A = this chain, B = another copy of it.
């Protein structure tokens, strides 16, 4: 997705060979117009599927997911990273290890909002080691819903998450796939290049 790659080149900050910071439009400050374009591009990529629910995880997945949901006319559910007192025990729960935060969080989704009748797409901001997506897939499996595929805004293609998940037969659509962050520069895979 050209507009996204251009934005990453323009304002993304390479902090190391592993870390790309895109706090200025995705992870802390949000560019609403770009998020609308991202949501519409997900809808376009999965236009061959009937989707009844968009599943994401707080917080950075919410903006692109909401525009996808608006485009296809489906509600969005965001998994919570910690149980609050107003979430009852009526939840699907999984565990996600965050390499960034170096901690394991429970993620949970109320059983009220995901069921065996649903066709679900999972959306997340980043795909690196694949931990968050694995937790969301686990929740979809617990619910008995059908998983259509996974939409990722930025995939770190030099890490293992995408490879592992694709080998499991999951359809993963990443709008920007990073080949390398070496020498402080962002290099993308071409479309279709693996």
Contact = CB atoms under 8 A, between A and B. Distances in A.
Interface of A: 15, 19, 21, 23-25, 28-33, 35-36, 58-59, 62-63, 65-67, 69-70, 73-78, 80, 84-87, 100-102, 109-110, 112-113
A86 B20 CA distance: 10
A66 B112 CA distance: 25
Nearest to A82: B101
B62 A30 contact: yes
Contacts of A76: 29-30, 32, 63
A47 B41 CA distance: 30
A67 to B, nearest CB: 7
B78 A30 contact: yes
Contact of A75 (B30, B36, B110): B30
Q: How many copies does the complex hold?
A: 2
Given A58-B59, A63-B62, A100-B85, A69 B110 contact: no
A24 B70 contact: no
Given A32-B75, A66-B66, A23 B110 contact: yes
B33 A70 contact: yes
A14 to B, nearest CB: 13
Contacts of A84: 100-101
A70 B36 contact: yes
Contacts of A100: 84-86
A15 to B, nearest CB: 8
A85 B69 contact: no
Given A24-B112, A63-B63, A85-B101, 16 more contacts: A15-B86, A23-B112, A28-B78, A28-B87, A29-B112, A30-B62, A30-B65, A30-B66, A30-B69, A31-B75, A33-B70, A33-B73, A59-B62, A62-B63, A63-B66, A66-B66
Contacts of A66: 30, 32, 35, 62-63, 66-67
